């Protein structure tokens, strides 16, 4: 025998089933298991004789047994049945030689070596067993076993086996008769019921105890897990019939803990369902191949699918094509090895667009084999977070490659981080830490940050100024346009960044532009001087002629004086006049030299009244020649302004000569006198100088282009005068504008800032 102990257990099971008169199919399965325990047996089938149909029908385990050929109504096994009544055991070869339905089925099953033996299990039942032996086993290999089984079955057919109550059984067990009356109890039942066993048994057993007993005996079936309350316990009773003895074994178990656990599980299930139905995350169950078993209602709000629509759908159908490999390989291996895996994938919405999901999956395994039977996943929509991270990454890349200097700073002056542009510009190595803002900016900028910067950035989010950065290496400083930005972290903490743009190139361009402007202004002054030549010559001729006349008269007086007092007085008077006119000529020359001087711009405090009067004198002869009267209406006390005297005179002279030219063109036929009005007054923090002429004025279209370079209405003009004049005035912080004048012509207004009393700016601009 392959396993004698297993064979004995199978025999005891068969005995128990027969004594309890269990269905024939169950007894047939036990007999098949008993015979298969022999290693010489290959297959076993059991058949019951159906007298009405004259055929053998299979019972028990029929695996491997084919259906019969031909018409079932015409099938018969009568010949085989008659032969087995004479000879209780045949070989497969002998049985196959008999023309019957069972032999034809044996041939279809390919059974060629074995025995067919008559072996009834119940009285009044004719059964046969077909045993297929291994190819090397002899036909008589099971003769002794079959003989013993036949004798044993004959002896046990009419003997009922009494079931004993075990005193070691931890569960309470009771024998009751067909009317439900108590016959016997085991130790566990006696301990539970106490001294009043009968009275307490009626309380402990279900209230329909008698009906349960009758149903179990009548139907010959086990009635399991009938609940009953006893004291503080919840009992589950099972009714097991014994038809031969006409009594019932009532066996119970304490399910109080199970009931509590069931109640807690029900409550937890209700809570889980509540969470599942209301959570914004998608909770889903999947088969190992990825198909949906179920999904939470969040599937509609997240993906546009109802949970019922997802059932049976492969999760791969919703994934981006680039993420399918990640799920099928990485996730599958991680779940198989660790039982848990978290991944970030793109999931397709029903509308067609893709969302980023963070999915945490856990494998549910079969208890004994460890095979994965189910996967539970919790998925969260992190599209906004992924986009924010992507934006931050892109912003970080922009900051890294930005040519502007970016520094993260604290209000206490600690520089926490610099981008590569800042490190290169400030000559800071990658390993250099603990940098201070005071090392790169001056004390005045730090004071300005303390007084205004941090507070303004906190309130408005941004604050800016212009300053200079000093690199750590011993190199020249460079100008920057500084912007302080205040940021708020997710936790509410404030942090700051400084964005500085290197303005060295702008400073160089401004210096070059200023140099070109000064050269252009100097050229313009030379042109103006050429245009004023006749007036200058006239102004120089008058003092020179007076000098000559006074010198000749003084010589005559000296020859005729003869030491007479009146003659000497006339000589002294003539010499004084000579000195006066010579000084006047010297002043004219001095003004011309100052006007034509080419030197760095000198920004200084000026008296606007003196500048205006000197400018009027420069073009006085031109005004007289054009019959133009220049009227001045100025306040007696005007505040000082802040500008370069030569450039300001050039602007005023250009404006005044344009007004004279406009008057001349308007009043040349016939020649008629005209006038120009110059006013100067203070308004708020500015001085307004206005020049009104009596020219033809300009149209609205001409007014828009009046200050455009190379735009001019003069036949021989270059169109640079007013454009250059506006640039000069704007360089002083002022403005040059045009509007209709009070005399009917054009009015050019020059607005200049007033120099404050505490202005400590240098008088020479670098």
**For 487-496, what is each residue's pLDDT tens digit?**
887 677 788 8
- Residue 323: pLDDT above 90? no
Q: In sequence order, what E strands does 453-555 have?
A: 462-469, 478-488, 494-502
Percent of the chain residues past pLDDT 70, beyond the cut: 82
Cα 38 to Cα 132: distance, rounded to the nearest angstrom: 12
Query: Residue 166: inside a domain, yes or no?
Result: no
Q: What is the DSSP letter of 714?
A: S
Same structural domain for residues 130 and 217? no
Query: Residue 88: inside a domain, yes or no?
Result: yes
Q: How many CB atoms lie within 10 A of CB 301?
A: 10
Of 599, 620, 644, which marks where a domain is finished? 599
All residues at 6 or more sequence positions from 707 whose CB lies less than 8 Å from its CB, including other chains: 722, 723, 726, 736, 738
**Which pLDDT belongs to residue 159?**
54
Does residue 363 or residue 761 have the better pLDDT?
A: 363
Does residue 475 or residue 169 have the better pLDDT?
A: 169
All residues at 6 or more sequence positions from 444 whose CB lies less than 8 Å from its CB, including other chains: 467
- Residue 530: pLDDT above 90? no
- Residue 162: pLDDT above 50? yes
Of 502, 526, 557, which marks where a domain is finished? 502
All residues at 6 or more sequence positions from 659 whose CB lies less than 8 Å from its CB, including other chains: 676, 691, 692, 693, 695, 745, 746, 748
Average pLDDT over residues 94-105: 90
**Which pLDDT belongs to residue 765?**
38
Cα 81 to Cα 265: distance, rounded to the nearest angstrom: 59
Q: Locate tokens 């606007």: which residue?
A: 608
pLDDT classification of 524: cutoffs 50, 70, 90 = low
pLDDT classification of 308: cutoffs 50, 70, 90 = very high
Tell me the average pLDDT of the chain: 82
Average the pLDDT over each of 502-516, 627-641, 694-708 and give the range with the smallest value.
502-516
Same structural domain for residues 202 and 343? no
Average pLDDT over residues 212-218: 92
Cα 540 to Cα 588: distance, rounded to the nearest angstrom: 8
348-391 pLDDT tens trace = 999 999 999 999 999 999 888 888 999 999 999 999 989 888 88
Same structural domain for residues 349 and 206? no
- Residue 164: pLDDT above 70? no
Q: Locate tokens 């004084």: which residue?
A: 576
Same structural domain for residues 497 and 646? no
For the purposes of burial, counting CB atoms within 10 Å of the CB of 305, is it exposed (0-12), middle (13-18) or buried (19 or more)?
middle
**Which pLDDT belongs to residue 151?**
78
All residues at 6 or more sequence positions from 106 whose CB lies less than 8 Å from its CB, including other chains: 92, 95, 96, 130
Same structural domain for residues 381 and 306? yes
252-272 burial, b for 16+ CB within 10 Å, e for fewer?
Answer: bebbeeebeeeeeeeeeeeee
- Residue 288: pLDDT above 70? yes
Q: How many domains are contained in the chain? A: 6
672-688 pLDDT tens trace = 788 899 999 988 889 99
DSSP string, 565-591: HHHHHHHHHHHHHHHHHHHHHHHHHHH
**Which pLDDT belongs to residue 64?**
84
**Which pLDDT belongs to residue 587?**
61
Cα 37 to Cα 1: distance, rounded to the nearest angstrom: 7
Does residue 543 or residue 482 have the better pLDDT?
A: 482
Cα 532 to Cα 521: distance, rounded to the nearest angstrom: 16
- Residue 131: pLDDT above 90? yes
Query: Residue 168: inside a domain, yes or no?
Result: no
Same structural domain for residues 681 and 651? yes
Query: Residue 163: inside a domain, yes or no?
Result: no
Give CA 77 to chain center in angstroms: 79
454-488 pLDDT tens trace = 888 888 889 988 888 888 767 778 888 889 888 88
pLDDT classification of 453: cutoffs 50, 70, 90 = confident
Domain range holding 320?
Answer: 279-387
Q: Which of 243, 209, 245 is nearest to 198 (CA)?
A: 209
Single pTM value for the model: 0.38
Tokens representing residue 459 in the block: 């309130």
Same structural domain for residues 594 and 608? no
Does residue 709 or residue 42 have the better pLDDT?
A: 42
User: Quick check: 612 and 676 in contact, CB under 8 A?
Assistant: no
Q: Locate tokens 């200050």: which residue?
A: 707
Residue 208 preceded by cis peptide, ω within 30: no
For the purposes of burial, counting CB atoms within 10 Å of the CB of 750, is it exposed (0-12), middle (13-18) or buried (19 or more)?
buried
Query: Residue 255: inside a domain, yes or no?
Result: yes
Does residue 18 or residue 216 have the better pLDDT?
A: 216
**Which pLDDT belongs to residue 66?**
85
Residue 410's φ and ψ, nearest 5 degrees, are -110, 155
**Which pLDDT belongs to residue 763?**
39
Same structural domain for residues 20 and 123? yes
Question: End-to-end CA distance of the chain, in Å?
Answer: 117
Percent of the chain residues past pLDDT 90, beyond the cut: 22
Query: Residue 678: inside a domain, yes or no?
Result: yes
pLDDT classification of 720: cutoffs 50, 70, 90 = low
Same structural domain for residues 730 and 755? yes
Same structural domain for residues 559 and 621? no
**Which pLDDT belongs to residue 132?**
92
Give the CA distances from residue 241 to residues 180, 186, 340, in Å, rounded to whole numbers and listed in that order: 12, 17, 49
CATH number at residue 658: 3.30.565.10
Does residue 459 or residue 763 have the better pLDDT?
A: 459
User: Quick check: 410 and 499 in contact, CB under 8 A?
Assistant: no
All residues at 6 or more sequence positions from 669 whose CB lies less than 8 Å from its CB, including other chains: none
CATH number at residue 406: 3.30.450.20
Same structural domain for residues 215 and 302? no
**Which pLDDT belongs to residue 163?**
61
Does residue 51 sit in helix, strand or coil?
coil
Residue 365's φ and ψ, nearest 5 degrees, are -105, 155
Helix (H) or strand (E) holding 238: strand 233-242
**Which pLDDT belongs to residue 762?**
37
Query: Residue 271: inside a domain, yes or no?
Result: no
Of 156, 182, 217, which marks where a domain is finished? 156
Same structural domain for residues 107 and 189? no
Query: Residue 265: inside a domain, yes or no?
Result: no
Name 375's bridge partners. 286, 363
All residues at 6 or more sequence positions from 620 whose CB lies less than 8 Å from its CB, including other chains: 535, 539, 630
Name 436's bridge partners. 414
392-435 pLDDT tens trace = 888 878 888 888 888 888 888 788 888 888 888 888 887 777 78
């Amino acid at each position: 025998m392959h396993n004698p102990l297993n064979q004995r257990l199978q025999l005891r099971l068969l005995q128990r089933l027969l004594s309890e008169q269990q269905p024939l199919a169950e007894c047939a399965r036990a007999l098949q298991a008993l015979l298969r325990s022999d290693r010489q047996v290959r297959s076993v089938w059991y058949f019951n004789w159906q007298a009405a149909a004259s055929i053998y029908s299979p019972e028990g385990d029929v695996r491997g047994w084919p259906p019969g050929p031909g018409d079932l109504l015409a099938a018969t096994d009568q010949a085989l049945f008659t032969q087995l009544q004479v000879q209780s055991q045949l070989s497969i070869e002998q049985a196959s030689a008999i023309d019957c339905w069972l032999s034809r089925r044996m041939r279809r099953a390919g059974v060629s070596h074995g025995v067919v033996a008559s072996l009834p299990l119940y009285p009044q039942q004719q059964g046969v067993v077909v045993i297929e032996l291994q190819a090397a086993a002899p036909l008589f290999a099971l003769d002794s076993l079959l003989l013993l089984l036949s004798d044993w079955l004959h002896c046990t057919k009419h003997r009922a086996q009494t079931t004993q109550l075990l005193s070691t059984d931890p569960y309470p067990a009771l024998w009751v008769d067909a009317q439900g009356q108590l016959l016997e109890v085991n130790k566990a039942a006696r301990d539970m019921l106490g001294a009043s066993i009968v009275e307490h048994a009626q309380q402990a057993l279900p209230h329909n105890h008698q009906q349960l007993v009758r149903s179990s005996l009548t139907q010959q079936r086990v009635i399991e897990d009938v609940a009953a309350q006893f004291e503080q316990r919840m009992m589950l009773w099972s009714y097991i019939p014994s038809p031969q003895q006409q009594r019932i074994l009532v066996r119970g178990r304490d399910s109080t803990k199970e009931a509590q656990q069931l109640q807690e599980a029900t409550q937890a299930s209700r809570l889980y369902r509540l969470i599942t139905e209301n959570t914004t995350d998608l909770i889903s169950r999947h088969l190992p191949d990825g198909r949906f078993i179920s999904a939470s209602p969040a599937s509609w709000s997240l993906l546009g699918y109802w949970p019922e629509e997802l059932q049976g759908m492969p999760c791969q159908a919703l994934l981006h094509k680039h993420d399918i490999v990640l799920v099928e390989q990485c996730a599958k291996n991680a779940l198989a090895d660790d039982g848990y895996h978290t991944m970030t994938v793109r999931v397709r919405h029903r509308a067609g667009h893709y969302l980023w999901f963070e999915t945490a999956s856990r494998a549910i395994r079969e208890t004994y084999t460890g095979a994965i039977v189910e996967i539970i996943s919790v998925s969260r929509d992190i599209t906004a977070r992924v986009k924010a991270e992507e934006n931050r990454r892109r912003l970080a890349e922009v900051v890294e490659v930005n040519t502007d200097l970016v520094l993260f700073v604290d209000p206490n002056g600690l520089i926490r981080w610099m981008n590569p542009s800042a490190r290169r510009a400030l000559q800071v190595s990658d390993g250099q830490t603990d940098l201070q803002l005071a090392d790169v900016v001056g004390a005045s900028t730090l004071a300005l940050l303390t007084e205004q910067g941090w507070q303004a950035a906190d309130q408005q989010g941004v604050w800016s100024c212009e300053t200079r950065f000093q690199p750590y290496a011993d190199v020249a400083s460079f100008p920057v346009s500084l912007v302080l930005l205040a940021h708020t972290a997710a936790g509410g903490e404030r942090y700051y960044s400084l964005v500085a743009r290197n303005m060295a190139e702008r400073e160089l361009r401004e210096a070059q532009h200023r140099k070109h402007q000064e050269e252009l202004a100097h050229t313009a002054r030379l042109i103006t001087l050429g245009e004023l030549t006749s007036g200058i010559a006239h102004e120089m001729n008058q003092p020179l002629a007076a000098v000559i006349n006074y010198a000749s008269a003084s010589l005559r007086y000296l020859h005729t004086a003869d030491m007479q007092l009146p003659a000497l007085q006339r000589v002294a008077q003539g010499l004084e006049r000579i000195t006066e006119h010579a000084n006047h000529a010297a002043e004219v020359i001095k003004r011309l030299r100052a006007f034509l001087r080419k030197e760095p711009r000198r920004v200084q405090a000026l008296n606007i009244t003196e500048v205006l009067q000197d400018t009027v004198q420069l073009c006085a002869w031109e005004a007289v020649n054009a019959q133009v009267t220049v009227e001045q209406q100025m306040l007696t006390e005007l505040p000082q302004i802040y500008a370069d005297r030569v450039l300001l005179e050039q602007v005023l002279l250009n404006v005044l000569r344009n007004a004279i030219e406009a008057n001349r063109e308007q009043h040349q036929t016939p020649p008629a006198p005209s006038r120009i009005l110059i006013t100067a007054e203070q308004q708020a923090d500015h001085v307004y100088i206005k020049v009104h002429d009596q020219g033809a004025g300009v149209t609205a279209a001409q007014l828009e282009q009046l200050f455009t370079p190379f735009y001019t209405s003069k036949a021989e003009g270059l169109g640079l005068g007013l454009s250059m004049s506006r640039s000069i005035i704007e360089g002083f912080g002022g403005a040059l504008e045009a509007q209709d004048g009070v005399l009917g012509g054009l009015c050019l207004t020059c607005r200049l800032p007033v120099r404050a009393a505490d202005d400590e700016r240098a008088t020479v601009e670098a």
